[in-house]
């Protein structure tokens, strides 16, 4: 065994000088600051490494039960949802309540090839605890309140608003007594059928047809003299009667189509189809009405030009 080295006073002084020099270089603070080159900070306990087994753990890989077809059930086609597309560039879908935002975003990308910037989710708590009749009764409350508020604000007898309120109340009573939720959807067909028959009967009953009445109502009292003179023309009356026939046929046909769909399509989908059907029908009729009115104005302008040319030729001949 080698003999232990003898520590002399000279070597001890040299070590002390070296340690003093190190302390002078570092300063009085002994804390070491770690230089970080990344913006993310990870705690050791949150690090979960992916498994890398040496052998296959399952002979057949498990099927993903929450696939894109289960995550996205159907798009929402209500009037408010369609308005969000136009105003806010926002799509509304009915999705599985177990899906998270990342899964919804991936499903939208796979099915529609749309890269969503932001996902907002809303869980309807009452959907799992309400029956179909109760859910449809709750959905009928907003239009009923809106119609009542319009009647109170205008302080006039609005036939359309009163009909909407009465039809909703009648269908809700019948559906509650019979426990048939489909009867609540029949009210829409009843309304459109009633309006269609009103257009049809206004041609044969009353002083004016419904198109003339609505035109007077929207034009205001200052246009009364002009409209009185215009409605004395039999061609104008014939054109408005044709409009009434078209609107009656469109609304009655829409009510019959909805009535067939109510008893052939599942109830959870039918409310959206019913709203879309009414929107498409009214939009189509309004577009046809605008086109027909422009056509009549164009014909009138052509006849006026022809009459002016004929008068010029007669003057020249004289």
How far apart (Å, rounded) are the C-alpha atoms in residues 233 and 222? 20
Give the mean pLDDT of 218-225: 70
Q: Range with the lowest mean pLDDT among 67-76, 178-187, 228-237?
A: 178-187
Q: What is the pLDDT confidence band of residue 104, given thresholds at 50, 70 and 90?
A: very high
Q: What is the pLDDT confidence band of residue 318, given thresholds at 50, 70 and 90?
A: low
Give the mean pLDDT of 260-282: 82
Q: At the fourth CATH level, which superfamily is domain 68-123?
A: RRM (RNA recognition motif) domain (3.30.70.330)
Write out pLDDT tens, residues 38-82.
888 766 676 778 888 888 877 887 788 888 889 998 888 777 788
Q: How many CA atoms lie within 13 A of 229 on its CB side?
A: 3
Find the DSSP H helices in 155-233. Answer: 159-178, 182-204, 210-219, 224-230
Q: What is the pLDDT of residue 102?
A: 92
Does pLDDT of 4 surpass 80? no
**How much of the chain exceeds pLDDT 70, in percent?**
74
Write out pLDDT tens, residues 23-46.
777 776 667 777 888 888 766 676
Domain ranges of the chain: 68-123, 132-299
Token pair belonging to 80: 């408010």
Give the mean pLDDT of 256-283: 83
Give the mean pLDDT of 289-314: 79
* Residue found under tokens 């164009």: 298
| Contacting residues for 239 by C-beta, under 8 A, at least 6 apart | 292, 296
Give the mean pLDDT of 138-160: 69
Listed residue (146, 128, 209, 134) closest to 172, CA to CA = 134
Q: In this structure, what is the dihedral angle of CA atoms 159, 174, 189, 137, given to the nearest 10 degrees?
A: 80
pTM of the model: 0.49
3-state secondary structure of 42: coil
Residue 132 near residue 138, CB atoms below 8 Å: no
Q: What is the pLDDT of residue 123?
A: 75
Which helix (H) or strand (E) segment holds residue 95: the answer is strand 93-95
Does pLDDT of 255 surpass 60? yes
The dihedral built from the CA positions of residue 63, 67, 71 and 74, taken in this order, carries a sign that is negative
Residue 296 near residue 239, CB atoms below 8 Å: yes
Q: What is the pLDDT of residue 107?
A: 92
Listed residue (138, 119, 237, 118) closest to 184, CA to CA = 138
Listed residue (199, 204, 194) closest to 168, CA to CA = 194
Does pLDDT of 105 surpass 90? yes
């Amino acid at each position: 065994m080698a003999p232990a080295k003898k520590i002399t006073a000279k070597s001890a002084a040299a070590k002390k000088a070296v340690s003093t020099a190190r302390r002078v270089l570092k300063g009085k603070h002994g804390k070491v600051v770690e230089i970080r080159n990344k913006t993310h900070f990870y705690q050791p306990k949150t690090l979960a490494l992916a498994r890398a087994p040496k052998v296959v753990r399952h002979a057949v890989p498990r099927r993903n039960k929450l696939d894109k077809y289960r995550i996205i059930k159907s798009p929402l086609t209500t009037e408010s949802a369609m308005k969000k597309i136009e105003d806010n560039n926002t799509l509304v879908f009915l999705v599985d309540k177990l899906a998270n935002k990342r899964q919804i975003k991936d499903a939208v990308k796979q099915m529609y090839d749309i890269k969503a910037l932001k996902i907002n989710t809303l869980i309807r708590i009452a959907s799992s605890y309400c029956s179909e009749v109760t859910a449809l009764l709750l959905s009928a409350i907003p239009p009923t309140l809106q119609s009542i508020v319009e009647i109170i604000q205008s302080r006039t007898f609005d036939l359309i608003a009163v009909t909407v309120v009465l039809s909703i109340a009648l269908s809700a009573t019948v559906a509650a007594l019979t426990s048939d939720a489909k009867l609540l959807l029949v009210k829409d067909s009843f309304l459109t059928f009633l309006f269609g028959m009103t257009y049809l009967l206004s041609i044969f009953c009353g002083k004016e047809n419904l198109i003339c009445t609505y035109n007077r109502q929207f034009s205001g009292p200052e246009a009364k003299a002009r409209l009185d003179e215009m409605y004395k023309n039999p061609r104008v009356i014939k054109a408005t009667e044709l409009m009434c026939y078209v609107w009656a046929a469109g609304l009655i046909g829409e009510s019959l189509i909805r009535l067939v769909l109510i008893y052939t399509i599942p109830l959870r989908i039918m409310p959206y189809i019913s709203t879309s059907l009414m929107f498409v029908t009214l939009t189509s009729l309004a577009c046809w009405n605008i086109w027909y009115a422009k056509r009549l104005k164009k014909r009138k302008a052509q006849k006026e030009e022809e009459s002016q040319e004929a008068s010029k030729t007669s003057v020249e001949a004289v």
